[in-house]
Amino acid sequence: MVSKGPVYFKDLDALRAIAFLAIFLHHGIFTADPTVEASVAFLAADVITKPAWLGVPFFFALSGFLITYLLLSEEQRRGKISVGKFYVRRILRIWPLYYAVVIFGFFIFPLLHGLMVHEPYTENATLWKYLAFLGNFDIIKNGLPYGAGLGVTWSLSVEEQFYLVWPIFFIVVPRKFRVWSVLFLFMLSQYLIQARDLPYPHTLASMSDLSMGALLAIAIFNNKPLFNKLTELPKWAIFLIYVIGIAHLYSWTLYDLGNRVFVSLFMVFVLFDQSFCKFSPLKLRKFRILGYWGRLTYGLYLLHTIGNFIMYNAIKPYRAHLGEPAFIDMALQPIASLLLTMAMAYVSYKFFEKPFLDLKTKFTTSGTVAA
């Protein structure tokens, strides 16, 4: 099951794009108009997009899988893991745009807010915690920050904390204990979420999905006959799992029925199906436009709340001339915000992120993994 050459999971780019679109729907369709909020159309949209917030947990599962696969692939080929080069690759990928957004949120946004909103502005976020990738703990203590762009960075804090310890985990923990150790992390995370009500932005709570993704990668490298057999699941079985999984997402998010464990399992099944199942009903690599934008999802994710803020306040003075409030809040504004976000992400990727990404090749020690 493990390739000896460079590795690239073609279908995962499209999955990234879908996860981002889910998050965008969760944040992008909103209204301050009570009449729109009470409308049937808005209530229906709210029901349809209810599971959309799970785009962030899906990104965690995806990161857990890809980062673990990358580390195990390097260990298999070289006999060891280069922690230093791993850190440099992560820094080149994450830090440039992350710190640009933090600078924007703390220093530029207050000026922009004054120009566009003309209301008093006070930031409740703690600058040093965001500089130190501890924003998730700041949000737990102080609530969501006011600065546009800052709110979504909590998940980057979680991922950076994960990246800090994960390569060391694979150096310290013997191979025969890895599965049980990661399972323990998963069960601990579930216990803290369900029994101790630990908020999801806490790193130990988010480990639920990160560890499930990691378990998938470890299962691949263990190369057990059962795993190989599962790659030959028939189309009807895969389709049935998708139907049951999606139904469970809605029953869990709408009616609090079911279990968070099954949500994590379903997300990992989606990764498994797209990456390894031989008879999948639909491989997402066929949707090339999704694959293209999937490679830009880091920028799309970090910049979309900035796009939402700019477009909301740009449209606000002209609302009375643009049509029905429901049309503006549910169609015009989200579409305009998405287009602006896509434009910002494209410019960011081509002229700001890419030079740093090109440097990653100097610190690559194993096969190319999209991470």
- Return the pLDDT at 310: 96
Estimate the crossing angle of helix 297-315 against helix 83-103, to 10 degrees. 10
Sequence-ordered list of residues with C-beta below 8 angstroms from that of 188, at least 6 positions apart, any chain: 204, 207
Indicate the SS3 state at residue 173. Answer: coil
The percentage of residues in the chain with a pLDDT greater than 90, rounded to a whole number, is 85
| Signed CA dihedral, 326, 327, 330, 333: sign only | negative
Which candidate, 356, 358, 363, 369, places its Cα nearest to that of 82?
A: 363
Q: What is the mean pLDDT of residues 355-367?
A: 81
Q: Are 155 and 130 in contact (CB under 8 A)?
A: no
Rounded Cα gap, residues 64 and 70, in angstroms: 10
User: Residue 306's pLDDT band (boundaries 50, 70, 90)?
Assistant: very high
Q: Mean pLDDT for the chain?
A: 93
What φ, ψ does residue 209 adopt, rounded to 5°? -85, -35
Which candidate, 103, 15, 114, places its Cα nearest to that of 55?
A: 15
Measured CA angle at 340 (ends 111, 326), to 5 deg: 95
Which candidate, 204, 253, 351, 331, places its Cα nearest to that of 55?
A: 253
Q: Which two tokens stand for residue 75?
A: 């260990």
- Return the pLDDT at 215: 96
Among 127-131, 224-228, 358-362, the range of highest mean pLDDT: 127-131
Indicate the SS3 state at residue 18. Answer: helix
User: Residue 118's pLDDT band (boundaries 50, 70, 90)?
Assistant: confident
Rounded Cα gap, residues 215 and 48, in angstroms: 30
Measured distance between the N- and C-terminal CA atoms of the chain, rounded to whole angstroms: 19
pLDDT exceeds cutoff 70 at 106: yes
* CA separation, residue 60 to residues 11, 57, 259 (Å): 17, 5, 18
Which tens digit of pLDDT belongs to each residue from 262-302?
A: 999 999 999 999 999 999 999 999 999 999 999 999 999 99
Please tell me the pTM assigned to this model.
Answer: 0.95
The percentage of residues in the chain with a pLDDT greater than 70, rounded to a whole number, is 96
Q: Are 50 and 250 in contact (CB under 8 A)?
A: yes
Largest CA distance in the chain: 66
Q: What is the dihedral of CA 161, 163, 165, 170, to 10 degrees?
A: 160
Q: Is 121 left (phi over 0), alpha (psi -120 to 50) or beta?
A: beta
Q: What is the dihedral of CA 16, 21, 23, 26, to 10 degrees?
A: -160
Rounded Cα gap, residues 311 and 331, in angstroms: 12
Q: What is the mean pLDDT of residues 49-56?
A: 95
What φ, ψ does residue 240 adopt, rounded to 5°? -65, -40
- Other Cβ atoms closer than 10 A to 226: 8
Query: Residue 59 corresponds to which amino acid?
Result: F
| Signed CA dihedral, 45, 47, 49, 53: sign only | positive
pLDDT exceeds cutoff 50 at 314: yes
- Return the pLDDT at 259: 87
User: Residue 7's pLDDT band (boundaries 50, 70, 90)?
Assistant: low
Residue recorded with tokens 């369900």: 194
Sequence-ordered list of residues with C-beta below 8 angstroms from that of 51, at least 6 positions apart, any chain: 22, 249, 250, 252, 253
Q: Are 370 and 17 in contact (CB under 8 A)?
A: no
Q: Are 178 and 166 in contact (CB under 8 A)?
A: no
